[in-house]
Amino acid sequence: MLRRLLLASVLAPFIILGSGAIAADHAESPGADADQAADLADVFLFTSPENPRRLVAAITYGGRSGPRSRIDQNFVCDTRVVYVLNIERANAAGTFANQPTFQVAGRFGTVVATGRCGALRLENVPGAGGTFDGPIDTVFTSSTGLKAFAGLRNDPFFFDAEGYNGMVAAFDGPAPAGGYLVNAFGLGQRARRDSFANRNVSVIVFEIDLDAVAPAVNGVRPKIQVWATTARKAS
Domain boundaries in the chain? 2-158+198-232, 160-193
Q: Of 144, 104, 137, 117, whose CA–CA distance to 229 is shortest?
A: 104
- Predicted confidence (pLDDT) at residue 136 exceeds the cutoff of 90: yes
Side-by-side strand order, sheet with 81-89: 132-135, 116-123, 102-111, 81-89, 224-232
* β-pair partners for 206: 57, 148
Rounded Cα–Cα distance for residues 35 and 18 (Å): 14
- Predicted confidence (pLDDT) at residue 2 exceeds the cutoff of 50: no
Higher pLDDT, 217 or 2: 217
Calculate mean pLDDT across residues 138-156.
95
Calculate mean pLDDT across residues 147-164.
87
* β-pair partners for 110: 117
Rounded Cα–Cα distance for residues 230 and 22 (Å): 10
Tell me which DSSP letter residue 183 carries. H
**Percentage above 90 pLDDT, the chain:** 50
Q: State the chain's mean pLDDT as an integer.
A: 82
Rounded Cα–Cα distance for residues 111 and 107 (Å): 13
Calculate mean pLDDT across residues 50-78.
80
Calculate mean pLDDT across residues 98-119.
93
